[in-house]
Amino acid sequence: MLQSTRLWVQESIAHLLRAPVVNQEARDKRRRTSDRSKKSDGSDARSPAQKDRDRVLYTSAFRRLAQVTQVVAADTGHVFHNRLTHSLQVAQVGRRLAERLLSLHAAEIGSSTGLDPDVVEAACLAHDLGHPPFGHIAEEELNELAGDGIDGFEGNAQSFRIVTRLSQHSPLHRGLDLTRATLAAVLKYPWLKGQNPAKPKKWGAYRSEEKDFNFAGELLGGNDGRTIEAQLMDWADDITYSVHDVDDFFRAGRIPMHLLADRKYSKEREVFFESVQKRHVGEDDIWSDFGSLEAAFNQVIVGLFPLEAAYRGTWKERAFLREFSSQLIGSYIGGTSLKIDSNGKVQIHREEYLLLEVAMLKELTWTYIIEAPSLLSQQYGQRKVIRKLFEIYRDAAESKNLGIFPPYYRDAIEESNKDEKAVRRTVVDLIAGMTEVQALEVHNRLVGVSLGSGLEDLLL
């Protein structure tokens, strides 16, 4: 009897000691997958992360990206990537990265906040939702026009605002009601404006969405670092545009890859290196060792680029280019792993030469496209369009001339109760949510350049 009682007590103690571990695992899972909604559909077999992915995919904000520039407008005679095709490719790369790491690093993932390919894919699809018409020029202009009183404008913070407040999924709540894990994965910059002095021009959310930001941040345990899923979203973004921009602009005759890849002496390569070094003079991090950057560029371009002449569009050239792009993406996915850092945090790890290669591929677009005089003159006009739209809508809101606002934004202004900051944020939301075609058409109508018939509805 005594022996059986002792055994029962020992088993009970053992059970109690094990129970917190099980409960903690359950709490961690619930914490990752929790959203704000209390409703549940028993017939829906999708996981919470799969629901997140599908909700982002079906938003009008995602469809809008088909008419938002990646680097140059897509209607210029060449089939350039736009923000929609870019986002789809980022999602594909992000998912493959996550699936590969899941199969290789179960132990590391077990000691982290988790890794779900559907979360990574959802974050990748959402990462550019806040990108305004005309790209980074409009981002800079809107930030200046918005002002510090409402935390300015930042494309990543606008993406977070879209998924948490501006998009519609149900009349029961604002935003898409995404899980904590997906919201955390969207946060490329997991801090509010001014909270990271090292990166004053970047932040992940406005204070108007601070409640949602804090909800996502609970997954980080108070740490200002990113989840594995956010890191993979960011890396997938870098991989994708560094490769497809080179492909786009070589085909368009704007980046002379055949000259840069000359295995003998290349004056073009020398000029390119001088341009990059001048642009990053005095910077730390990878830019402090320019010799290594040159070596990485030579390895990937001189060593691998398959064409020796300018692009003409033959079947063989197309095939070689596709193989080159696939080879690069495959090497960047294959060169990604997980490691636990000195603080016990799980981080993605890439060999240094891969980071250098991607950095130099991105510099090609800066040198040959973004800083080209033809694009700079276009950007001057784009700034004027954005500024004029802001002035017109701001003045109309202040004078209660709300007839020029689409219904969605008219309602928001009426609900603001004359709060000047709320009105300004609504005007910024309106302009940032336009496609480039809409921005130009609305601008031209409002300034009297092209009035149209007066019967067209410009629903935004």
The 10s digit of each residue's pLDDT in 372-390 is 777 778 888 999 999 999 9
**What are the tens digits of pLDDT across the range 311-356?**
999 999 999 999 999 999 999 999 999 999 888 889 999 999 999 9
Above 90 in pLDDT, residue 359? yes
pLDDT greater at residue 12 or residue 440 = 440
Mean pLDDT of 35-60: 85
Place of tokens 């981080």: 347
pLDDT for position 19: 42
Per-residue pLDDT band for 397 (boundaries 50, 70, 90) equals very high
Beta bridge partners of 347: 339
CB atoms near residue 91 (< 10 Å): 24
Tokens 């021009």 appear where? 201
Query: Tokens at residue 95, please?
Result: 């998912």
* pLDDT for 86 beyond 70: yes
pLDDT tens-digit map of 107-156? 889 888 899 999 999 999 999 999 999 988 999 999 999 998 999 999 99
* Signed CA dihedral, 29, 31, 35, 37: sign only: positive
Residue 231 token pair: 């890191």
- Domain 48-228: state its class: mainly alpha
The predicted structure's pLDDT at residue 375: 74
pTM: 0.89
pLDDT of 200 over the 50 cut: yes
The token pair at 310 is 């300018």
Question: Would you call 260 exposed, middle or buried from its count of C-beta atoms within 10 A (0-12, 13-18, 19+)?
Answer: buried
Q: Which residue has the tokens 């690069």?
A: 328
Please report the pLDDT score of residue 341 as a whole number: 87
CA angle, 230 then 236 then 237, to 5°: 90
Label residue 453 by pLDDT band (50, 70, 90).
low
Q: Are the C-beta atoms of 167 and 224 separated by less than 8 Å?
A: no
Dist. CA 438–CA 444, nearest whole Å: 10
pLDDT at 128: 96
State residue 40's pLDDT score: 63
pLDDT over 90 percentage in the chain: 67
Q: Where are the domains of the chain?
A: 1-32, 48-228, 235-370, 375-446
Q: For residues 390 and 285, give the distance between their C-alpha atoms in angstroms, rounded to a whole number.
A: 38
Please give the Cα distance from 424 to 324 (Å, whole number).
Answer: 47
Query: How does DSSP classify residue 170?
Result: B
In the chain, the percentage of residues whose pLDDT exceeds 70 is 87
Q: What are phi and psi of 35, to 5 degrees?
A: -130, -170
Cα separation, 263 vs 84, in Å, equals: 36
Predicted pLDDT at 342? 85
CA distance linking residue 387 with residue 137, whole number of Å: 11
Distance in angstroms (rounded) separating the CA atoms of residues 157 and 403? 29
Residue 21: predicted pLDDT: 40
The per-residue b/e assignment along 442-456, b for 16 or more CB within 10 angstroms, e otherwise, is bbebbeeeeeeeeee
In contact, 301 and 293? CB cutoff 8 Å? no
Q: Are 162 and 55 in contact (CB under 8 A)?
A: no
Structure tokens at 342: 């000195």
8 A C-beta contact, residue 181 and residue 49: yes
H helix or E strand, kind and range, residue 296: helix 290-297
429 touches 406 (CB < 8 A): no
pLDDT of 222 above 80: no
**Which residue, among 306, 332, 346, has the nearest Cα to 106 in the 3D structure?**
346
